[in-house]
Amino acid sequence: MVMDQVLYSDKSVVVSAPTGSGKTVAFELAIVRLLLKTDGAGQQDKIVYMSPMKSLCGERFQDWSTKFTCHGLNCLELTGDTELDDLSELFASNLICTTPEKWDSMSRRWKDNKMLFQQIKLFLIDEVHILNDPNRGATVEAVVSRMKTLQTSCHSATSNHIRFVAVSATMPNYNDITDWLSTPSRPAVSFNLEEKYRPVKLERVVMGYPFKEGTSEFRFDMNLSYRLRAIIDNYCHGKPTLVDERFEDLDIPELNVLSSGIGMHHAGLDTQDRHTVEELFKSSRLPVLISTSTLAMGVNLPAHLVIIKSTFFYNMGVVHEYSDMQLLQMIGRAGRPQFDTSATAVIMTKMSLKVLVKAYRWYWDFLSFLVSLHKNLIEHLNAEVVLQTITNISLAVEWMRHTFLYVRVMKNAKHYGLPAALDKADIETRLQELCLRNLNLLTELSLVHVQADTSEIMSLETGKLMARYCIAFETMRHFHGVQENQEGVADLLEVISGCAEFCEIQLRTNEKKILNSLNHDKNKETIRFPLTGKIKTKQMKVNCLIQAQLSCLTVQDFSLSQDMTKIFRVGQRVTKCFMELMYQGKNYSLLLHSLLIYKAFKTKLWFDSRYVSRQLDGIGQTMSLALANSGLSSFQKLEQASPRDIEVIVNRHPPFGNHVKAAVEMLPKYELAVEQVQPYKEKKAVLKVCVELVNAEVLQEKPSGQTSHQAILLVGDEANNIVYKCRIL
């Protein structure tokens, strides 16, 4: 039945089916259908495959490149790990494997390239249950709603519509997804394949353990750890075992642990180590894999035995209970169709919950996806205005009708704060009012402009910045409130630390001693701008960790190191947006210091750091410290040093010093000259400012694609006004 609809029709299709039952085949049949229809004529047609997991995107890219390149489809992997400087590569690609966040970010740059939208004929959504995720669900919904809205505005009545195929192993209210992906002229079809279609039969075992009142969740979890060996011995049958370990404060051993047959899979692994662990596990050479944070959504590694160690987990220091769909997604990893005919999933939980888990966890048809778009509606509304998906009030309302939120509100208005007795017309009126309220908020902050007489909506420069850098509305409001007395580096760091993008960073009690030591300590180096008093808020924690990273201070706590990684990953786009916002103003000091802070975030060093050598490949914290202590604290001094001296300082063999000097020589070098060309008269002077790239010929030798860089020339007066500014590319 599924094959008939996917291969022999153009209807959108929704499939809910157990893991291993062939959902990927449904995608491939849809691709084949498009190839058969075009018969080589649709060279510009595009197919988008969207999955919340980078690992799945990578797998599909590798697999489909092999299968479909010979049929004329150029494949492109587009995830957070992908650098794409322009859209030319997108234009040349037919099959794009991407994540929701990356596709959202890329498509926000398309306002002048609607042709790209017109070329999309097939949109494949994997793991569509991510809609239920409170953090990522809104992005998925916004992206698909954008495609649906643009379908009505970009495609003529005679052109092919965008066909959607959505699949998941855990999709309780699949009928709602079907309604969402339907159009009046072409309703979608859905299939719900029951557990009996699972190719590998799964045995579910729920094991309850005593939990005394007053015992911490952490101690209970540690007690469960001692019982893992017996469970693995009893149920693994000599085949690979996957263990969910969710406690973020767990001290993770390094990869030498592999020799004992146990692998670790967590966010701290670099790409190469992660690939090594995954390949060992896939080939059954690694008996046990423990995953700390990505088992539910990020590990596509089927095992014979999956163990869920506790139905509770820590996230940002707070105890949470697994949702039903998270549990189902995790146990779905049990069973390898190529190798097994049976599999086992063991859930370890409190004795008091054992009966409850066994009784209803697997009868989940009554569950429903909830949506979170209404929590981020203003950000996505602004993005659509920037994209010109929404150009007037009526289109804004039309966009709302294309969202999954619209479908869910119609089914369960009460959950979204509306009276249950409202009819469809009343609900639409309320949604329209919600849309207008958000537009008014955007207008008040000069992010968009609404023409009163025509209801036309236009994006303003600040709104474009908000969309381009995916910035929260509250952060833009926060930036809007920056005063002229907040123009110093310390003041602006405080502003950046208070952004909504860092709201997930929690201040844990056990971290305060380390943070306070970074802030004030008579016996060692501390942060550059100490904070007043003790660290007692998450904003102070963010500020302290930013400064610790920029000052190259050692932070050995694992959870703090993870937080620093998150802060700088998000902080680059936040500080870039803030700098661009200040670039629109006239305050010299504000712009100068916002530029310096952005530069610091990009390099993870203070703008006047002694450890500049850390920016060079192959030089880490230890080497940069040795070089700085030897007086080589600038690129100019490194360039003048002898290669052999460099090698002695960092204890490396030749030709390491030559490589360091070669890397320094390939950095852009500018000379700035200022000349007064007319005498000072009537409080005016004419200056000639000359900027020269003195090693332009050397940079020409750089490999293709590595030659671009940017500088900003900024001139101010004694009254703190910007006299002149320009970007030098």
Q: What is the pLDDT of residues 35-46, one digit of tens each?
A: 988 776 667 789
- Of 476 and 452, the structure prediction assigns the larger pLDDT to 476
Q: Where among 148, 180, 195 does a domain terminate?
A: 195
pLDDT at 371: 58
Q: Is the pLDDT of residue 475 over 80?
A: yes
pLDDT at 156: 45
Residue 452 lies in a domain: yes
* Calpha distance 727→394 (Å, rounded): 39
- Of 679 and 305, the structure prediction assigns the larger pLDDT to 305
- Domain total in the chain: 3
pLDDT at 643: 95
Q: Is the pLDDT of residue 158 over 60?
A: no
Structure tokens at 569: 């990953």
Contact 389, 356 (CB under 8 A): no
Q: Is residue 277 located within the same domain as residue 178?
A: no
Q: Is residue 325 located within the same domain as residue 356?
A: yes
Residue 26 lies in a domain: yes
Per-residue DSSP letter, 554:
-
Q: Is residue 189 located within the same domain as residue 212?
A: no
Q: Is the pLDDT of residue 500 over 60?
A: yes
Q: What is the pLDDT of residues 142-151, one digit of tens each?
A: 899 888 887 7
Q: Is the pLDDT of residue 459 over 70?
A: yes
Q: Where among 434, 468, 502 does a domain terminate?
A: 468
Average pLDDT, the chain: 85
Q: Is the pLDDT of residue 228 over 90?
A: yes
> What is the CA 213 to chain-centroid distance, rounded?
38
* Calpha distance 437→208 (Å, rounded): 50
pLDDT at 268: 66
* Calpha distance 568→444 (Å, rounded): 30
Q: Phi and psi of 580, rounded to 5°?
A: -65, -35
Q: Is residue 286 located within the same domain as residue 229?
A: yes
Q: Is residue 189 located within the same domain as residue 217?
A: no
Q: Is the peptide bond before 134 cis (omega within 30 degrees of 0)?
A: no
Q: What is the pLDDT of residues 432-449, one digit of tens each?
A: 888 899 999 999 999 999
Q: Where among 141, 165, 195 does a domain terminate?
A: 195
DSSP H helical ranges for 551-642? 558-583, 588-603, 621-629, 635-640
The beta-strand segments (E) located in 17-127 are 46-50, 75-78, 95-98, 120-125
pLDDT at 137: 86
Q: Is residue 207 located within the same domain as residue 163?
A: no
Q: Is the pLDDT of residue 258 over 90?
A: no
pLDDT at 118: 81
pLDDT at 31: 95
Closest CA to 194 of 358, 362, 16: 16
Residue 355 lies in a domain: yes
* Calpha distance 113→107 (Å, rounded): 9
pLDDT at 160: 55
Q: Is residue 134 located within the same domain as residue 207?
A: no
**Percent of the chain as helix, strand, coil, to the nearest 5:** 45, 15, 35
Helices (H) and strands (E) in the chain, counts: 29, 21
State the pLDDT confidence band at 318, using cuts at 50, 70 and 90: low
Residue 415 lies in a domain: yes
Q: Is residue 315 located within the same domain as residue 390?
A: no
Contact 20, 200 (CB under 8 A): yes
Residue 205 lies in a domain: yes
Per-residue DSSP letter, 238:
T
State the pLDDT confidence band at 557, using cuts at 50, 70 and 90: confident
pLDDT at 61: 94
Residue 604 DSSP SS3? coil
Helix (H) or strand (E) holding 228: helix 228-235
Q: Is residue 293 located within the same domain as residue 385?
A: no
Which class for 114: exposed (0-12), middle (13-18), buried (19 or more C-beta within 10 A)?
middle
Summarize the confidence of residues 496-505 as an average pLDDT: 94
Q: How many CA atoms lie within 13 A of 311 on its CB side?
A: 23
Closest CA to 443 of 397, 378, 510, 517: 378
Helix (H) or strand (E) holding 672: strand 670-681
Lowest-confidence pick of 69-73, 490-494, 533-537? 69-73
* Calpha distance 668→318 (Å, rounded): 47
Contact 107, 91 (CB under 8 A): no
- Of 138 and 473, the structure prediction assigns the larger pLDDT to 473
* Calpha distance 91→77 (Å, rounded): 13
Q: Is residue 137 located within the same domain as residue 184?
A: yes
Residue 588 lies in a domain: no
- Of 709 and 243, the structure prediction assigns the larger pLDDT to 243
* Calpha distance 317→720 (Å, rounded): 44
The beta-strand segments (E) located in 284-341 are 288-291, 305-309, 312-315, 318-321
Contact 153, 14 (CB under 8 A): no
Residue 620 lies in a domain: no
State the pLDDT confidence band at 637, using cuts at 50, 70 and 90: very high
The beta-strand segments (E) located in 79-134 are 95-98, 120-125
Q: What is the pLDDT of residues 248-257, one digit of tens each?
A: 444 445 558 7
Q: Is the pLDDT of residue 359 over 60?
A: no
State the pLDDT confidence band at 364, using cuts at 50, 70 and 90: very low
Q: Phi and psi of 624, rounded to 5°?
A: -65, -35
Residue 65 lies in a domain: yes
* Calpha distance 170→193 (Å, rounded): 11
Q: How many CA atoms lie within 13 A of 701 on its CB side?
A: 9
Structure tokens at 472: 């929260």
pLDDT at 626: 95
Provide the domain limits for residue 397.
373-468
Pairing of strands 711-716, 722-728: antiparallel
Which percentage of the chain shows pLDDT scores above 70? 89
pLDDT at 323: 67
Summarize the confidence of residues 344-361 as an average pLDDT: 72
Per-residue DSSP letter, 174:
H
User: From residue 613, how far is each of 491, 670, 696, 714 by CA, in Å?
Assistant: 28, 19, 22, 26
pLDDT at 292: 67
Q: Is residue 108 located within the same domain as residue 239?
A: no
Summarize the confidence of residues 336-356 as an average pLDDT: 81
> What is the CA 593 to chain-centroid distance, rounded?
27
Domain holding 378: CATH number? 1.10.10.10
Lowest-confidence pick of 76-90, 153-167, 546-560, 667-681? 153-167
Ordered DSSP codes for 251-273:
----GGGGGGTEEEE-TTS-HHH
Q: What is the pLDDT of residues 272-295, one digit of tens each?
A: 787 888 888 888 888 999 886 555
Summarize the confidence of residues 383-387 as an average pLDDT: 89
Q: What is the pLDDT of residues 178-203, one digit of tens each?
A: 999 998 888 999 998 877 777 888 88
Q: What is the pLDDT of residues 594-609, one digit of tens each?
A: 999 999 999 999 999 9
Pairing of strands 312-315, 189-192: unpaired
Phi-psi region of 335 (alpha: psi -120 to 50; beta: other; left: phi over 0): left
Q: Is residue 340 located within the same domain as residue 245?
A: yes
Highest mean pLDDT among 297-311, 402-416, 650-664: 650-664
Domain holding 97: CATH number? 3.40.50.300
